[in-house]
Amino acid sequence: MRLNIKIVVILYIIIDIICVGAGMGVPIFCILLGFPLGWYVTKRVSVSTEQLYQKYYKIFKFSLLTAIFTFILMVLVWRRTIPMLFDPSSDFQNFGHPYILYDPKMSFIGWTILMIIISPFLQLLTTIFAVFITLIRNEK
């Protein structure tokens, strides 16, 4: 039984928001969500009778849309920290982020980039990786 695409989108939105909340703004669970997401997208698209390149295009489009939604969530979650980058009186030492670099301000900049840009990209990569593994398993 195939689910209606609207139901699937609503379920994904709910699950992605729960993953952001479970990670307390750090999207580690959103990144891990890419594995079952890639499997589901591949299974859903592979039953169609389209040409192979059309299937791959749809898979990539769905994967990209999910990463864009996670990017939007990350912008919403971390939007209050972005003005701190341009405020010279911001207290970066007591913000609570890990010092991934040696300077507090540089660590804050790195943390912000990691949360907003790199994490949704990692979700895209895990989704594409799961798609690739699912396609390999389907060929056997």
pLDDT of residue 68: 97
Q: For residue 13, which phi and psi values (nearest 5 degrees)? A: -60, -45
User: Which pLDDT score is estimated for 46?
Assistant: 83
Domain boundaries, the chain: 5-139
Q: Cα 134 to the chain's mean position, in Å?
A: 19
Tell me how far apart the terminal alpha carbons of the chain are, to the nearest angstrom. Answer: 23
Structure confidence at residue 1 (pLDDT): 57
Show the low-confidence residues of the chain (pLDDT under 50). none
Residue-level pLDDT at 132: 94
| Amino acid at site 127 | T
Cα distance between residue 33 and residue 15, in whole Å: 9
Identify the pLDDT of residue 85: 85
CA distance 131 to 57: 12
